[in-house]
Amino acid sequence: MKLNHANLVTPEVTALAGFFTSHFGFELLAERGKDALAVLRGTDGFILNLMIPGKGGTANYPGGFHIGFLVGKPNIVHAKQAELADAGFAPGEVQELTRGGVSSTTFYCHAPGGILVEVSSSPA
């Protein structure tokens, strides 16, 4: 079984779509309405749907909710952190973390709409 897609609710569909296409290799497949829906495809075929909250709704995620990207080497984590900083986002510092006995090189960044994104690399 393969995870096929995820649906994120955000008040900033167009800006978040731009974030993922410009910095994480997603391709924009479709847009509906004015800043209402975007369908993106990752390089591995994963589909990411971005949509505005329903009428009167808000985009509320539980504490700790985030989207995680795993890259092959720590130098890629450092390069992505620098890229996002240069693009005007405010990524956190790269950290060396150990969680569950597994070490990783990791940073977090808030994307448009407040979505928290993690980029990390850990030994195979």
Q: Is 31 exposed, middle or buried (0-12, 13-18, 19+ CB in 10 A)?
A: middle
Q: What's residue 105's pLDDT?
A: 95
pLDDT at 13: 95
pLDDT score at 2:
87
- CATH class, range 1-54: alpha beta
Give the amino acid at 46: F
pLDDT attached to residue 98: 87
Rounded to an integer, what distance in angstroms lies between the CA atom of residue 10 and that of residue 59?
A: 6
Which pLDDT does position 50 carry in this prediction?
97
1: number of CA atoms within 13 Å, CB side? Answer: 2
Spans of the chain below 50 pLDDT: none
The CATH number assigned to the domain with range 65-124 reads: 3.10.180.10
Q: Are 1-54 and 65-124 equal in CATH topology?
A: no
Instruction: Show me where the domains of the chain are located.
Output: 1-54, 65-124
79: helix, strand or coil:
helix
Confidence at residue 123, expressed as pLDDT on a 0 to 100 scale:
72
Q: What pLDDT is stored for residue 124 in this prediction?
A: 61
